Chains A and B, each alone.
Chain A
């Protein structure tokens, strides 16, 4: 550092030392420099880090599936042309079951054969067969009209590494076998023991002297009391629905099976039955012929089954090649030789000309294959399924309609046996030529696409495609419905109603504080309003939901009345004030006037509670909640209440323009401006009320009724409550920013306007407000951002129903509340988890846009205010 240049005359005798800055100072300076720079820029990193992190978690929802491995093995097929193929839960053992009951099992990764027992068909060859969705229960029909049940149990147990039996043959990847059972290496030094157990029941006669050509078998009920039902079609075209009950004799241990059979209404003569299907509780049976015509039987009443519907599901020239349920047995997938794949459900339709009022509706059209579909396999866990053609295998999802994976042509893939392994992590194909193909696949989120999350999806059992959020339910076959639209709608609904309440209150209060309050009153009132901002939102939510909601429910008519009465009483008070002599008015201006305003508001609220019941009696037939349900009363009163302020404002504006010289003359002559103004106002009021009522009557006569629209069924925790509670959170924000903006309008503008003779009111509305407009607008935007993200109030007071309607008396489910409620319960990296991250990202983006816009508007305002 250089020594300062000092005049020679003052130089001390001491020679200036060649002073050097200490190293430590320099280093500290450099370190501080970098740390602070990095720390400052870290804020950008934080914002974008959050966004990128959320995005990175959400993105896998939209990535399809991937193949993690593929192999083809030649196997020793002892089952001839197999009827069924299966693999165990861990993709270790493959199983083929032939028409003659022979079972062939093999170690899947190597193709090494295992010795297993065969099914006991007593020498017969099955002419029809069927199995349940989990592959464990099978039923076979024979040419002599008998039926046999069988069970297949891939047995699995875990044993410790040191208790492996000796003398095993090594297979691959640490797997080994004793010829019957595979010991597969499992994590933690343990082994999984996987074998194949089969059991066959005795033959049961069903069709006398006719071969069974088609059968379907379902096991329902509980484990202790299973109910087994099956439907058969014999070669004479007779359709029978039977239920089997097995009783164990407690003394002998012998099982006795009794079968009850009902014959269903006959099929048309000459029907070539291709496939039959039965639902688990045996209330619907479907018989499909080779041409794709489906005969649907309603068997809810087994004593009087009806042929409910006959419908052709395929184009004329196509033949049926696959026909099966997806899990839950509501979605019916139909594929034809023309390559089409479509999903149907049975839905109640008023126009249905069917026997039971239901109709099969084609709900999903999936991407068609170029070649005939030959194989079909449904997932045991979700709505996924695999279709096979001569060209390859496609993994698809029935609800989202997406094709997740296209496995290209493999030699054996053209066969009719394709299946998804029990954990949906593998695809197995058997072509009949002794070759099996196995693909390991990873399909983490088959049910989500951009369309299922943001578009309309037709879920089974729903009468039409829609936006639905329902993430969990009690049953295994439940399909999560993850559309963010109802939640986004809920957020928007809450925000709109909250702003409808908060913006007027906050803006008007801000204008009054900035322009018409003296400094002392302001220094009390402004912190009081700002204190609202520091109220924790959990407190607001609690008060709103547990204290306010029950009160508002009882006093709803009074609350609605207050919206009219409080402004009206203020207007009346204002006109009375105008009648006061001018010197009185001037003397009382300021704090006394403010106190009077307070008193007027309080009086208005009191009047509203006083008149509430009477108002309810006159306008809403005595019971508001019955009225909003639409059960009593007429549409006119509410229309009138909404139209009245509009018509009054319109009349007021028109009257502003209208200059009535004679009225002015009267005012001049009598020197009673206030009285004249009041009379004039009363005329306006009654006139506009009459006009509003007239319009309301006309609209009501034309059929307009807001019930079912913005008003409707009343629930206790509703949007009105949310809007009010959210007001506490939003009002102080808008108020503070708007007040600051109004206040920072340069004083000379105000002075100029007043000097030109403008009243304070004219100055405020025509000079100050337009100048500060962009700042005020920015305040509204920031308030909106707060309302969008507000969580606790919505969680507690909004009822959390994910619905799409604008009814202010109904609840809502906002994005934020949904995240708070469901994220703690969701499994890490599961579909729901990622969807909730997507919801958070949506929220982030919404507020990011709003806040960035607000900030830009604000910066423009600052620049403009600076230039003035």
Chain B
């Protein structure tokens, strides 16, 4: 198509016309700005979203001051200011306000500011958050004796310490030896961890052994077809084992009970801002600090201790507090297992397409299939995974290998293995495309050289082509991992749960439990943000988890890009 040059060059008086600058319309400046604006908007969308996540994610754990807000009506509340926003107060409320405030709102076209305070004390107030409109505030103070207690149950407590009872030695506000309190708290927490270890790990192991004894007996029963002599023998043996195990269990339970009794001797009595009291075992307090009386260093200490807890502890309070270790673990385990499954399949297909197949209709069908596999919605994979892997394959495995556990499914329901296989199917196109690129980048001359030296086709591929293509294949696998780690929808159907008491890998034979359901960072975001009692209380957790997930995915993507670039450099040099 010739450029429209009617205005620029006219047949008559060409000499004059050439001296004239190009018609502005041909430059299309306004359109260019429109195009550029779209690009700018897109980049700003990404940047804005990332900044939002980074800011909220990193700021969440930093301890904030506690404000004591006295309202115009005389109420006093204490809380951490969480965020401020513009809002439109209802007309009836505005009408009841003093004239000056009303005029202010009217000049602001009906908008007023309000602040969300995290007041904590859910057990006393029935809510953790409260909106306070700015015009309702009389004054704000930050008294230094206010503490924030993070508790195992009921969320945070904001208030003052009234008294402390350390194994009979009682101290009252004003005379509390802080160092002794801190030391006693550390001791109590240590005992609490011991209790947890006993209850969770050791008693859990005993229970598991009792259960496996029972299952073994059931297996004998199924094999012998009911009460028979060998069944009776087995039953006797099982009973004896169960008696020893029960004894073991009781010993452990007694130890835990003794520790608990010791912990019950250390208590603390707190008062909230309105004067109501609450007594608390010291062991049930995770962390406490005087929020308005902290040095920057102490704040950083709290900040990093919270990060530490987040990364290494288990969730509590319906996942809205505590850590995400099981979710991190589950995400990693599932992703790694997925890579193990996806790698051979993806590489094989790519090898077929590049090295074996003759270009023709079959290859184009394969290509269309690969593209379709890439385009099929992830939820469809989830449906397939549930129906095929879990119900059909898993159901068959259960019937053949675990008849003693029926009707409770073992493999016949969602789990780690099925999730990994489902995601492997989902990510196989990524691996195929990347591997194909890598194979194509191996110069033809190298293959020909190898073949000319008498190597067989497989030897050539195995010794010459694959090693050269390995970085590219790795790139594909890492990209697949990034895609898989961020995918949630199919997992909701094939094995992710909001709270998995047992990790899929532990110290009990056979160490990797493919059939177990697991926790996942992405699902954690969905669950805490949308399924929990109070999405506001879960929001900080969601932001930090989001940050972690994005960091994970970005890290994997960045690795892939670095590997790809190195590969490119290497072969750009090699080809010429």
Contacts and interface: CB of A to CB of B under 8 A. Distances in A.
Q: Do A and B bind each other?
A: yes
Nearest to B370: A43
B459 A791 contact: no
Interface stretch (B46-54, B167-175, B200-208, B397-405): B46-54
A536 B39 contact: no
Interface string B543-557: 000100110011001
Given A546-B535, A574-B33, A767 B1 contact: yes
Contacts of B530: 542, 545, 796
Given A46-B369, A792-B526, A37 B550 contact: no
Interface in B327-386: 344-345, 348-349, 351-353, 355-357, 362, 364-384, 386
A508 B35 contact: yes
Nearest to B344: A39
A179 interface: no
A602 B41 CA distance: 8
A54 interface: yes
B459 A543 contact: no
A367 B28 CA distance: 68
Contacts, number: 370
Given A536-B550, A577-B33, A791 B489 contact: yes
A535 B345 CA distance: 26
B391 interface: yes
B372 A848 contact: yes
Given A542-B529, A763-B3, A567 B388 contact: no
A791 B381 CA distance: 12
A193 B210 CA distance: 35
Contacts of A547: 52
Contacts of B380: 50, 54, 789, 840, 843-844, 847
Nearest to B392: A53
A820 B550 contact: no
Interface string B1-39: 111110111000000000011111111111111111111
Nearest to B482: A534
B525 A43 contact: no
B87 interface: yes
A35 B20 CA distance: 70
A682 to B, nearest CB: 12
A796 B375 contact: no
Nearest to B8: A757
A507 B382 CA distance: 32
Interface string A511-537: 111001100000001011101101111
Interface stretch (B249-257, B450-458, B568-576): B450-458
Given A542-B526, A546-B542, A593-B36, A536 B487 contact: yes
Given A43-B373, A536-B488, A757-B3, A816 B379 contact: yes
A537 B486 contact: yes
A727 B370 contact: no
A546 B108 CA distance: 26
A820 B489 contact: yes
Contacts of B493: 819-820, 823-824
A198 B75 CA distance: 68
Given A53-B387, A847-B375, A796 B37 contact: no
A516 to B, nearest CB: 6
Given A57-B387, A538-B488, A597-B36, A613 B110 contact: yes
A850 B375 contact: yes
Interface in A564-611: 566-567, 570-571, 573-575, 577-578, 582, 593-594, 597-598, 600-602
B21 A840 contact: no
Contacts of B37: 508, 566-567, 570, 597, 600-601
Contacts of B364: 859
Interface string A368-405: 00000000000000000000000000000000000000
Interface centre among B36, B458, B530 (most CB of A within 10 A): B36
Interface centre among A28, A753, A828 (most CB of B within 10 A): A828
A545 B526 CA distance: 11
A762 interface: yes
B82 to A, nearest CB: 13
A766 interface: yes
A356 interface: no
Interface string B93-119: 000000000000000111100000000
Contact of A597 (B40, B369, B485): B40
A175 to B, nearest CB: 22
A506 interface: yes
B290 interface: no
A528 B561 CA distance: 13
B428 interface: yes
A541 B382 CA distance: 19
Interface stretch (A121-129, A267-275, A482-490, A673-681): A673-681
B461 interface: yes
A214 interface: no
A289 B4 CA distance: 85
B193 interface: no
B366 A43 contact: yes
A731 B377 contact: no
B466 to A, nearest CB: 11
A578 B24 contact: yes
Contact of B38 (A50, A505, A681, A753): A505
Nearest to B6: A659
Nearest to B388: A53
A29 B458 contact: yes
Contact of B356 (A37, A534, A578, A668): A37
Contacts of B155: none
Interface string B43-63: 111110100110000000000
Contact of A532 (B42, B85, B351, B458): B42
Contacts of A551: 85
Contact of A728 (B39, B45, B370, B459): B45
A537 B549 CA distance: 11
B566 interface: no
Contacts of B383: 54, 819, 823, 836-837, 840
Interface string A450-493: 00000000000000000000000000000000000000000000
Interface in A695-748: 727-728, 731, 735
A617 B108 CA distance: 12
B223 interface: no
A711 to B, nearest CB: 20
Given A50-B380, A597-B37, A33 B457 contact: yes
B234 interface: no
Interface centre among B26, B47, B456, B553 (most CB of A within 10 A): B456
Contact of B376 (A50, A535, A546): A50
Contact of A39 (B109, B345, B459): B345
A788 interface: yes
Contacts of A868: none
11 contacts: A40-B348, A508-B35, A525-B39, A539-B53, A551-B85, A566-B37, A613-B109, A622-B110, A728-B49, A816-B379, A847-B375
Given A819-B379, A820-B492, 4 more contacts: A37-B356, A538-B523, A757-B9, A792-B522
Interface of A: 1, 21, 25-26, 28-29, 32-33, 35-37, 39-44, 46-47, 50, 53-54, 57, 504-509, 511-513, 516-517, 525, 527-529, 531-532, 534-543, 545-547, 551, 554, 566-567, 570-571, 573-575, 577-578, 582, 593-594, 597-598, 600-602, 613-614, 616-617, 622, 656, 659, 664, 668, 673-674, 677, 681, 727-728, 731, 735, 753, 756-759, 761-763, 765-767, 770, 782, 785-786, 788-792, 795-796, 816, 819-820, 823-824, 828, 836-837, 840, 843-844, 847-848, 850-852, 854-855, 859
